[in-house]
Structure 1
């Protein structure tokens, strides 16, 4: 079928809305009409840093409605509302023990540009258009394996759900599944984008007594306070390490750093207490 998609033809090139051909779903795959897609920093990395082959359709936080299912699909049917997430093999030791985020084939399946059978579903003429995270949600339709498609409640607005596929689960999962902070402990969240704000909400759920939000945009800090942060610091205006250490009796028990900016990474370490 013919669809519209944002194609990146070479490293660093701008997205170009173009007509491409999407092959139908094979066994264990589904065709989804995209309703919305989040835009993540990883999409910018895919465009600018050459982590995947070109040409490519990026996008990995898609939500939509199932239009068609391939053979052997048992968990989904046409009309289901779904969110797409990362691809994983479902067969390695890590996948079989409930840890698909560290699938042994994670890099190949998400950044290698092809589906798990080694082929592409997107084409322009005779040219393969590569896939990102097993979905390429910067298009009007996608084909994905049912493993990385999750059914959601039809009563929830699909336009809000795309970031569940990456940013929200990354931030919340870091707190709830990895750090697992004890009730009454302190945590600092550096960067209040989708990942950081999700970590703040998870820290609130976990019962952290002090939740420090750090960013350089006051509007984000205001939202962080609404979502559960107990303190908010603008890194351009205050000495973040000094302020956190003073408010937390020497440093936080936990920290989540979501910016990747080296000086902020150092702040997150320096503001931890011993054994933090």
Structure 2
């Protein structure tokens, strides 16, 4: 290891709270070297806390000052910044909160962070043309079973187990949040609309099955119907499936479609 590499490594160790940087390696100027090194270390941690709070303002409010500082210190120690941009510094926050006490004892905390990160991802996602329901007009009856949809890049399906979204909404409105609780209806669909406004709404169980089929498992329309038929009478499935399709088109979350598995989805805009 070169002398410069050794110097850089020791300085980084000091900033991260590890091995102290040798005082004898410092040039003595107007500011004492110990004070100067402390300024660098404090600035590093302060900047990372600012980045986390910018990404998670509601989580910060929910935890309060003491727990927020505890979280920032623990997360930064376990996941020091590895990239030039701070945009992705907090990408592991939900997982860290779910695994580390005392936060892990309260699932709503990790899910609140998960929801805030999903909002960030939706806002930053790439753009793409959107199709409306008229794009379905040219399809003949034989094409429907193999119909495949491509969703807008901003679309996210978030399945939670708590009322984290209700907690987020209350704190966002500067109101007292509800008590944390388990929820069996906590799935949300998130997307960015044509005005670049982030939208989200609840997803009922039937639609969750349909979205999982096409978004996660990449099923065609026949596969979507088969998934719905597992929980609903067969004669109700076609109307239910078409209703979901129409809603997705109306919300502007479909950007392309295809009717052949081997063909790439085509833009009909």
TM-score greater than 0.5 by the shorter chain: no
Q: TM-score, normalised by structure 1?
A: 0.29
Higher helix share: 2
- When Rg is computed on C-alpha atoms for both structures, the one with the higher figure is 2
Q: Greater RCO between the two (CA within 8 Å, min separation 6)?
A: 2
